[in-house]
Each structure stands twice: as C-alpha cells, then as structure tokens.
Amino acid sequence: MPAVTVPRAHGPDAPAESLLAMLVVVAICVLAAGYGRGVHELWYRRGAGAVLPAWRVGAFGTGVLVALAADRGPVHALAESSFAGHMTQHMLLLLVAGPLLAAGAVGLPLSLAAPPPLRRLLARCRAAPPVRRLRRPTTYALLAGAAQMVTLWFWHLPGPYVAAVDQPVVHAAEHLCLLGTAWLFWAPLLGASRHRPPAPLTVLLLVGTMLPASALGAVLTFAPEPVYPVRVLGPDPLTDQQLAGLLMWAPMDVVVLVAALSVFLRWLLRMDRPDNGASAAGPVTVAAGSEGMAR
C-alpha cells in the first residue's frame, strides 16, 4: 500500500530556502561575471579565441546554466516530491555541470579578473612548496577522485540525506559539495594537457571512481526495503528508491566508461605516432646512406 509522504521542510515557499536560492544565484552570477571579465581581458590582449578557445567559454556558460537548472525550476519541483527527482539533481551536478565547468578552465580568467593584490596573493600561494606538490597532476587527480567518492557516499547515507531534505542550509551544502568535487575531479581530465595525469592512471582513476558509485547505486536498486525513512521518499517508497539507484548507476557508468575509453584511445594513438614517424624516416635514412656509399 503506497505510503503518504510528509511535505518537505524546505518547500518552495519556505523563507529560508528562498533566501538561500537568492544567495546561490548571486554567487553564480558573480562567478560568471568574473569569468567573463577575465575572458574579455585575455582576448583583448591576445585576440579572440587565443589561449582560451571559444568552446571552453561555451562549456563554462552551459555548465552555469545546467547548475541553475538543477537547483531551480521543474527539476527542483520533482526533487521536492521524490528521491528519484533528488537523484536527478545530483546526476546533473556530477555528470553534466561539473564536467562543463571544469572544461571552462576558470583558473586563468578568474586570475585576470581578480584585483592586483588578490592576484599576487594567489600567485604566492600557488608557488608555495606544499601547494605545488598538491598541484602535481597525479597527486591532484588522486585526491580529487577520493574526495568525489567520499562526498557521494556521505551525502547518500540516510542521516546526511534526511538532514539535507529537512534543512535548507544542509541541502545547499550538499549540492555545493557535489558540484565542487565533480568540478575538481574533472578539471585535470578536461583541462589543459600539461595538467593531465598520465593516461593509464587516468583510466584507472575513472574506473576506480565508477565502481564505488556503481556499488552505491546497486545497494539502492536491490535493497529489499527502503533504506531511508518513507517520509523522504515518493508515494511508492521502494520503487522510488530503486529508480533513484538506477539513475545513479546507469548514467554514471556510461559517462565514466565513455571518458575512460576516449582517454585510452587517445593514448594508443599517441603511442603510434613516434613509430610511424620512425618508420617513415627509416627508408629515407637507408636510401641516403646507400647513395653515400655509391659515391
């Protein structure tokens, strides 16, 4: 018999949620304005599309729109009535908004948009030995992957999830953590090539982050009874939980496997290039040597 759900504490008319929504929109607008200012400064100096290609700017703008759409509008209304809707929000933040924002390569534009004193402070921080060690591609990628998996599991434990449903501040913190860790995780994978970890490590990292997420999705999908209190689930609690598990499981696996396959294929192509060049240069060298001997 379907259970009757209790209205969420952070309903669309709650004053606390309205204030938080306004603050989130303002913060995103400030971030977008700073990025746009930095891009304008960069392209004014070096020419449109130089250093930072237009597709990266478009990716960042699209990521901002997806983040806003995930937290507002129809998706937010769906999340208010079901766990599956809430999971849709999470997947949009983790698999769409996060990668798009990471592809935007925000570091240089935001640095150019910052006031000179702040810019100098950031430069000193980046040059500090501990920060330089953390910014090494391999170290950074491993830490970012671990942070994303810990964040994903933590916010889907019953206690933190119920707290996020009941309290607007915790709900905002949940989404901020998911978006932030996804952004950090995808940054070395979609950023400039000089900041990327070695391809074999990248493939292992992608698969390694996919497996815990798949395990969590499987737990939610195959659990014989609801893991969460029925009041935070949809009208049919078990079906709602199973659908949420599938929404985590299937899209995460598809996106990560496609990314891993893409990295692996690019790595194979790069490995073939020196061989092709050597084989092409080989006959020329031999021919030149033969001509020298004939003379």
pLDDT digit string (tens) for 160-206? Answer: 999 988 888 888 889 889 999 999 889 888 877 777 788 888 888 88
The one-letter amino acid at 190: L
Which has more confidence, 289 or 264?
264
pTM of the predicted protein model = 0.79
Show the tokens assigned to 148: 């994303």
Q: Exposure string (b/e) for 42-61, b if CB count within 10 Å is 16 or more?
A: bbeeeeeeeebeeebbebbb
- 113-127, 236-250, 253-267: least confident range: 113-127
- Measured at the CA of 13, the angle between CA 12 and CA 16, to 5 degrees, comes to 95
Mean pLDDT taken over the chain:
80
- 192-196, 274-278, 284-288: least confident range: 284-288
Distance CA 114, CA 192 (A): 21
| pLDDT of the residue at 79 | 82
Confidence label for 279 from pLDDT (cuts 50, 70 and 90): very low
Distance CA 192, CA 51 (A): 10
- 8 A C-beta contact, residue 102 and residue 259: no
Q: Where are the alpha helices (DSSP H) in the chain?
A: 15-46, 54-71, 73-79, 83-92, 98-103, 107-113, 116-127, 129-134, 137-155, 158-166, 168-190, 199-222, 237-294
Show the tokens assigned to 190: 């979609």
- 8 A C-beta contact, residue 93 and residue 174: no
Distance CA 158, CA 279 (A): 60
- 42: DSSP letter: H
Distance CA 41, CA 60 (A): 17
Distance CA 153, CA 253 (A): 16
Size of the chain, expressed as the number of residues it contains: 295
Which has more confidence, 81 or 155?
155
